[in-house]
Amino acid sequence: MSYEKVSQAKEVIVGTKQTVKALKNGRVKEVFVAKDANLEIIQKVIQAATELQTPICYVDSMKKLGKACNIEVGASAVAIIS
Axis crossing angle, helix 16-24 with helix 39-51, rounded to the nearest 10: 10
What pLDDT band is residue 2 in, cutting at 50, 70 and 90?
confident
Query: Whole-angstrom Cα distance, residue 39 to residue 3?
Result: 20
| 9-45 pLDDT tens trace | 999 999 999 999 999 999 999 999 999 999 999 999 9
CATH placement of domain 2-81: 3.30.1330.30
Residue 33 main-chain phi, psi, to 5 deg: -125, 135
Query: Whole-angstrom Cα distance, residue 27 to residue 45?
Result: 14
The sign of the CA dihedral 44, 27, 32, 7 is negative
